[in-house]
């Protein structure tokens, strides 16, 4: 089976997440990533099992891996899983989803 997320695909997804959803990244890291003190977060990578972030905690960048609900096999699944993660993060933090 070929990797559904080669480097160029991960780069495109990260570009979208970091460009259009930077606030969402932070909510996901603070709740699902277990780093409530994070002050910033950018998507740094992903594979079929998780999204990876570089989070800023006390001025230091730390890696955070947030697992998907299930293993992803196709690129089209990423959007739905990112939305689920965002909504779960909002629920966990008591934040009203903005989209």
Q: For residue range 35-69, what is the model confidence (pLDDT) as tens digits?
A: 999 999 999 999 999 999 999 999 999 999 999 99
Q: What's the pLDDT score for residue 74?
A: 92
Asked if pLDDT for residue 1 goes beyond 60, the answer is: no
| Mean pLDDT of the region 86-95 | 96
Query: Are 61 and 42 within 8 A, CB to CB?
Result: no
Helix 22-31 vs helix 76-93: crossing angle, to nearest 10: 60
Strands across the sheet containing 50-57 = 40-46, 50-57, 60-67
39 vs 22: CA distance, rounded Å: 11
Mean pLDDT, the chain, integer: 94
CATH number for domain 7-92, candidates 3.20.180.10, 2.60.120.470, 3.30.390.30, 3.30.360.10 = 3.20.180.10
Residue-wise DSSP of 24-55: HHHHHHHHTTS-TT-SEEEEEEE-SSEEEEEE
């Amino acid at each position: 089976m070929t990797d559904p997320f080669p480097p160029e695909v991960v780069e495109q997804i990260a570009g979208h997440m970091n460009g259009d959803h930077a606030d969402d990244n932070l909510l996901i890291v603070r709740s699902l990533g277990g780093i409530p003190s994070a002050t910033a977060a950018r998507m740094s990578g992903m594979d079929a099992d998780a999204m990876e972030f570089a989070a800023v905690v006390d001025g230091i960048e730390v890696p955070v891996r947030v697992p998907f609900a299930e293993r992803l096999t196709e690129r089209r699944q990423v959007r739905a899983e990112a939305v689920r993660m965002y909504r779960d993060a909002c629920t966990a933090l008591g934040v009203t989803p903005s989209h």
